[in-house]
Amino acid sequence: MKSTARVYPPARIALFALALFTAFGIGEARAQNEPILVPEAVDYQKLLPILPEPLPGWTADKPEGSTEDVGGFKITNVHRDYRKGEGEKAPSAAISILDSVANPDYVSATTEAWKSNSDSSEGYAKSVSIDGNPGFETFEKDTRHATLWVMIANRYFVQVELQNEDPGELREWIKRIDLKKLAAIK
């Protein structure tokens, strides 16, 4: 049975990333003779081992990943779904890592947007810090959907999504990812 978390296939994430990268300046006008220097994204095979094994009592799908050449620059994404039990209300988790090295403007705009906070009867959105890394956490009470994004080494967006779990469990999942090892991957 597939996870009930709001999970998107790597191809859809790559298209989303392409749109964001384009919107934030990859296609920025340059002087006629000025070369466009775009750093290389890492190969997805280097990121797959970062995705953790399931927690005790949980199962996991096989990790997936891709590195795609999109208009002269590469986008790398890896993803894994996890679940505990069967059925529509069973807790589920999803972890994704996106290499955003090709667009530092997107990284700075996103992490700047993470500085806003809100809290209501419907849920919350708040900036967080995970081991000194900027992040953003949201929780929708009616759907019991929690998401944590963390920026690692001004390059990697790590996303943890939980469905039908307490939002406090986001911290337990992010601890299972070796963020220092991820930061060192080039």
- Locus of tokens 């990943």: 65
- Locus of tokens 């953790």: 52
* Distance between CA atoms of residues 135 and 125, nearest Å: 11
Per-residue pLDDT band for 36 (boundaries 50, 70, 90) equals low
Cβ–Cβ < 8 Å for 136, 110: no
Per-residue pLDDT band for 63 (boundaries 50, 70, 90) equals very high
pLDDT in tens, 138-186: 999 999 999 999 999 999 999 999 999 999 999 999 999 999 999 999 9
Residue 17 CB coordination number (10 Å): 23
User: Nearest-CA neighbor of 158 among 124, 134, 132, 126?
Assistant: 134
pLDDT, position 35: 56
How are beta strands 156-163 and 59-60 bridged, if at all? unpaired
In this predicted model, which residue has the larger pLDDT, 141 or 12?
141
